[in-house]
A and B are shown apart, each in its own frame.
Chain A
Amino acid sequence: MAFTLYSLLQAALLCVNAIAVLHEERFLKNIGWGTDQGIGGFGEEPGIKSQLMNLIRSVRTVMRGIGCLLAVPQLEGWKIPGPWGPCN
């Protein structure tokens, strides 16, 4: 049951990657979650669905830059010194 900070970091990285690889044209448009299909009016406050779509779009934008740098330690298999857990 070794739920350590490092495993949390790994899990978060995998989740963010999963969100980032959702393809805009092939997938999101087909289930009605494309970014050009959701922009409602300005007066009403956004519902959960448009918030989620915004989140997916921003994760994709961010991952293309900084996120790839953050993934390098995991991909390269670097050992980060510290009491992170037995899997490190």
Chain B
Amino acid sequence: MPASKRRTPVSQPGMADPHQLFDDTSSTQSRGYGAQRGPSSLGYPAASASPQAAFLADPVSNMAMAYGSSLAAQGKELVDKNIDRFIPVTKLKYYFAVDTMYVGKKLGLLFFPYLHQDWEVQYQQDTPVAPRFDVNAPDLYIPAMAFITYILVAGLALGTQDRFSPDLLGLQASSALAWLTLEVLAILLSLYLVTVNTDLTTIDLVAFLGYKYVGMIGGVLMGLLFGKIGYYLVLGWCCVSIFVFMIRTLRLKILADAAAEGIPVRGARNQLRMYLTMAVAAAQPLLMYWLTFHLVR
């Protein structure tokens, strides 16, 4: 960990518990219902005059039910224990801890990042604060939703030109995912080659790269409504916004020590990192154009 990393300890009045990602929405209603299902693990009524009661009262089938349910519980335990090895579920939950205000502010930031002053993510006891408390934190909700919306809008655009068929949707999705994977791999490779000591995780990178889908959706929708002129205008605006957004965000992650003092970067190492940041940011508008130009005629 670089010693010059800035950590801004924060105590906001609005934060109840910094380690709690989601609001507690359990209510007494669900607890009461749970108590009702008490004695039998499968929740069947204890004894009734219905014809199924005779079948259930049979001791052999009772045992079979109990065995089956215990087997299911064991399996569930095994999956829960091991799922963390393949998919980092707890880490993923952080990226989905968003609320409406955060989404609104972030979308505004993606379309107009020019007035925002402080781009640093706030930390709380050495872990980054959940996205709902800090608009600078990356999240996966917006990229995921934007990706799915992009697929649907692409289908809509193809449909208005009589070029639609269902497997084209799968092809669009696969193509966009392939470009995203290629971008992530290329950036990870260049980060390795330039030996940047950064706390930019892979999931963070996927989140940042997923933000361009928002601009793409805007461009294609405007292209559907107003033709090519509208498409180029809105896409141009979104391209410049994403470029500025990416530079300002990545500058803090990749050029951490230089950006902290706010001085213009000097020296071969810092220059290389600056070039890398610019290259990543410049790739976004290019990909935005490449993935949408065939949808607007």
Contact = CB atoms under 8 A, between A and B. Distances in A.
Contact of B174 (A48, A55, A85): A85
Contacts of A45: 195
Interface stretch (B10-18, B130-138, B176-184): B176-184
Nearest to B174: A4
Given A48-B193, A51-B195, A83-B174, A3 B167 contact: no
A13 to B, nearest CB: 13
Interface range on chain A (Cβ under 8 Å from partner):
10 to 19
Contacts of A84: 174
B167 A2 contact: no
Nearest to A54: B192
A2 B171 contact: yes
B45 interface: no
A7 B194 CA distance: 28
A80 interface: no
A48 B177 CA distance: 29
Given A4-B178, A5-B178, A8-B182, A46 B171 contact: no
B104 interface: no
A52 interface: yes
Interface string A1-26: 11111011000100000000000000
Contact of B175 (A4, A12, A48, A51): A4
Interface string A51-70: 11001000000000000000
Contacts of B195: 45-46, 51
A8 B167 contact: no
A60 to B, nearest CB: 17
Given A83-B167, A83-B170, A3 B179 contact: yes
B294 interface: yes
Contacts of B194: 48
Q: Which of B177, B192, B193 has the most CB of A within 10 A?
A: B193
B94 to A, nearest CB: 26
A54 to B, nearest CB: 9
Nearest to B195: A45
27 contacts: A1-B175, A1-B294, A2-B171, A2-B175, A3-B178, A3-B179, A4-B171, A4-B174, A4-B178, A5-B174, A5-B178, A7-B178, A8-B178, A8-B182, A12-B185, A45-B195, A48-B193, A48-B194, A51-B192, A51-B193, A51-B195, A52-B193, A55-B192, A55-B193, A83-B170, A84-B174, A85-B174
Interface of A: 1-5, 7-8, 12, 45-46, 48, 51-52, 55, 83-85
Given A5-B181, A51-B193, 8 more contacts: A2-B175, A3-B179, A7-B178, A12-B185, A45-B195, A48-B194, A83-B170, A84-B174
